[in-house]
Amino acid sequence: MSLAVLARSVVGSGNVIDDPDALWTYGYDATMGFRGHPAVVAFPGTELEVQRLVRAAAAAGAPILPRGGATSLAASAVPPDGALVIDTNRMQEILALDVQSQFAVVQPGVVTHVFRELVAAHGLLYPPDPSSEAGSTLGGNAATNAGGASAFKYGVTRDFVTGLRAVTAHGEIVEADRP
């Protein structure tokens, strides 16, 4: 069974791209000079769908690349040839926001600027401000430890992440919390 068929069985036909012309867009990020050729792009809406996609790709022996806003200047969103790109842009929910504790739980596709504006409306500051904040995602920020001009005073993304849930290359969900 092809990777595209497997992806469609997980996220539905409307959330999969395998047309070679459309895949071209998913072969690069904001880094100059780097290009990959993915086999398929899937747009999961839930953690369970991500887990199922990863397991399907692992079973097929296909490389996997998670993708958020693709604003990276470090080629972190450039897929290996033949990869399944897991685009997290449908996963934009802010699952919890506790203003008193200054704590939030978010999905990886939440756009940085949207989150910064939300917390600012509650009198809070989320300092990481990569220059790409209008299009970058919190998942991508965490993956690349994004900073921005405010990093000199407040620190980078890792200084504001207290825990992560992630899907391993074998499709297992793991949690890591900062002590």
pLDDT in tens, the chain (179 residues): 799 999 999 999 999 999 999 999 999 988 989 999 999 999 999 999 999 999 999 999 999 999 999 998 889 999 999 999 999 999 999 999 999 999 999 999 999 999 999 999 999 999 999 899 899 999 999 999 999 999 999 999 999 999 999 999 999 999 999 87
Residue 1: the pLDDT is 76
Looking from the CA of 42 toward its CB, the CA atoms found within 13 Å total 30
Residues 6+ apart with CB under 8 A from 103: 96, 97, 162
Ordered strands of the 64-67 beta sheet: 16-17, 40-42, 84-87, 64-67
CA-CA distance, 31 to 148, in Å (whole number)? 17
Concatenate the DSSP letters of all residues of 63-110 into one string: -EEEESS---SSSTTPPPTTPEEEE-TT---EEEEETTTTEEEE-TT-
Q: What is the largest CA-CA distance in the chain?
A: 52
Tokens of 80: 């290996």
Q: Are strands 163-167 and 173-177 parallel, antiparallel or unpaired?
A: antiparallel
For the chain, the residue count is 179
Give the relative orientation of helices 3-11 and 47-60 as an angle to the nearest 10 degrees.
160
CB 76 within 8 A of CB 144: yes
Residue 41: the pLDDT is 98
CA-CA distance, 59 to 17, in Å (whole number)? 20
CA-CA distance, 147 to 155, in Å (whole number)? 7
